[in-house]
């Protein structure tokens, strides 16, 4: 429902603080001296004075678009990508990288505080090179066959000619798909009604999996291998249609098929896996929401038995393959079903649990079961601060305490943030 407040066309605003999603918060000037209605403005930074125009009038807030920076922040920089501002892929290229990290820490701390979650005095940060970091991207096709991302403000397609957050080989091949031997990319062929393409490379760009998605029919895979670390079309060695990559993390090779969840920041994967699994040892560990076994494979080195629970069909087979030579045991089940069964069977309590749920988080029943099981230590990996805050409140209301929080910047130049929370039973 729209507000009855008159909607001004152009306004001047003082930007107050960042909010989750990429916008910044301001308030309408109020002649009475009290704070006016909240306004959310993208592409701005705290402390800036800007002019903007209102685009949406909601009951309790306005949404606006930036017209001009009147007083820029000293932390403002020129965006590296020509598509920034129209493309919806990045939100923070106008901020220098230290500022991006501070913005994310502020948003994380405020989100947890609103949920009455007590946080440590310091939030640690794990970050790396903020460009050319993504090992996977997905693009759409325009009617003329150009690759495109979605617009920042709509579902419109924005054709691109660069993507500086993608691994170089991913960006290069995405912009030159017609060069692939045996490529299905041919807009003149009516059988190839292509909608999107996904490109995924491994740790050293020696392999590249390309998946073409049609409006109808099954995905078509093309996997390239390269003869040189200087991956490029000129160094291409061979091509096949196997729908998986081999990805090495902390000395272990993982089979990662198309459709399976896998972290996207190629610069941080080794340090990330180490952060989650190191310094934990014992008899039994559970890896819940295990994916292809990134954590379970490492935990097998320091625990006598590791139970890895995964329900997604795209990940389950790869999980079993990746754990075949270890003491880990893959379980094809949802985390909720596994915890329910464990409650009924009363198996030995695990010494350690890793949790890496999807964006929806754990939810009430899973947190209740975890509290009842009472593992001495847990590590919760989250990609959404709101659901993380909800779940941590439920866990810490019982006997868990937060020992450490680490912001892991898996997604530089964007508002997305990953969090690793270490918990122990008091």
- Positions marked active-site: 383
In 10 A of CB 190, how many CB atoms? 7
Residue 142 has, within 13 A of its CA and on its CB side, a CA count of 13
Q: DSSP secondary structure string, 225-293?
A: EESSSS-SGGGEEEEE--SEEEEEETTEEEEEETTS----BTTTHHHHHHHHHTT--EEEEEEES-TTT
What 3-state DSSP class applies to 103?
A: helix
Are 64 and 40 in contact, with CB atoms under 8 Å apart? yes
DSSP 8-class letter at 350: P
Closest to 175 (Cα-Cα) out of 237, 93, 257, 232: 232
Residue 208: what are its φ and ψ, rounded to 5°?
-140, 120
Closest to 309 (Cα-Cα) out of 279, 284, 270, 337: 337
Angular region, 98: left φ>0, alpha ψ -120 to 50, beta rest: alpha
Cβ-based neighbours of 134, under 8 Å, separated by 6 or more: 165, 166, 167, 170, 264, 265, 266
Closest to 79 (Cα-Cα) out of 153, 147, 165: 165
Residue 256: what are its φ and ψ, rounded to 5°?
-125, 105
Residue 367: what are its φ and ψ, rounded to 5°?
-65, -35
- Written as six digits, the tokens of 237 are 């060695």
- Written as six digits, the tokens of 388 are 């993380």
Cα separation, 381 vs 422, in Å, equals 9
Residue 39: what are its φ and ψ, rounded to 5°?
-130, 130
Dihedral, 229, 230, 233, 238 alpha carbons, nearest 10? -20
Cα separation, 297 vs 313, in Å, equals 19
Residue 387: what are its φ and ψ, rounded to 5°?
-70, -30
CA angle 200, 155, 387 (to 5 degrees): 70
């Amino acid at each position: 429902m729209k507000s009855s407040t008159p909607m001004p066309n152009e306004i001047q605003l003082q930007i107050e603080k960042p909010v989750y999603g990429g916008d910044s918060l301001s308030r309408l000037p109020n002649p009475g001296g009290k704070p006016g209605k909240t306004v959310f403005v993208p592409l701005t930074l705290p402390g800036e004075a800007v002019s903007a125009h209102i685009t949406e009038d909601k009951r309790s807030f306005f949404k606006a678009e930036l017209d001009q920076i009147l007083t820029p922040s000293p932390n403002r920089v020129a965006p590296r990508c020509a598509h920034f501002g129209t493309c919806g892929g990045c939100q923070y290229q106008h901020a220098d990288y230290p500022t991006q990290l501070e913005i994310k820490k502020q948003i994380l701390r405020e989100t947890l505080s609103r949920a009455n979650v007590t946080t440590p005095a310091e939030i640690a940060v794990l970050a790396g090179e903020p460009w050319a970091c993504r090992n996977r991207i997905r693009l759409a096709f325009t009617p003329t066959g150009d690759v495109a991302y979605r617009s920042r403000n709509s579902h419109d397609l924005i054709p691109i000619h660069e993507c500086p957050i993608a691994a170089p080989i991913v960006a290069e091949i995405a912009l030159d798909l017609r060069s692939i031997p045996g490529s299905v990319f041919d807009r003149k062929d009516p059988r190839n009604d292509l909608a999107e393409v996904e490109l995924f490379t491994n740790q050293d760009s020696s392999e590249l999996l390309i998946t073409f998605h049609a409006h109808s029919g099954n995905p078509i895979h093309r996997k390239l291998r390269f003869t040189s670390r200087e991956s490029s079309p000129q160094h291409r060695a061979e091509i096949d249609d196997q729908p998986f990559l081999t990805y090495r993390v902390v000395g272990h090779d993982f089979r990662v098929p198309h459709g399976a969840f896998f972290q996207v920041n190629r610069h941080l994967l080794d340090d990330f896996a180490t952060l989650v699994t190191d310094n934990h040892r014992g008899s039994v560990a559970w890896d819940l929401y295990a994916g292809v076994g990134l954590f379970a494979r490492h935990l097998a080195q320091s625990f006598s038995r590791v139970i890895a629970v995964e329900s997604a069909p795209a990940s389950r087979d790869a999980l079993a393959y990746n754990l075949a030579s270890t003491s880990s045991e893959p379980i094809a089940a949802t985390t909720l079903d596994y915890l329910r069964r464990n409650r009924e069977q009363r198996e030995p309590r695990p010494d350690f649990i890793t949790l890496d749920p999807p964006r929806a988080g754990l939810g009430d029943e899973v947190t209740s079961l975890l509290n009842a099981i009472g593992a001495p230590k847990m590590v919760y990996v989250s990609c959404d601060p709101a659901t993380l805050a909800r779940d941590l409140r439920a866990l810490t209301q019982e006997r868990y305490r937060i020992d450490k929080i680490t912001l892991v910047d898996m997604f530089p130049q964007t508002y997305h943030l990953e969090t690793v929370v270490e918990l122990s039973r008091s």
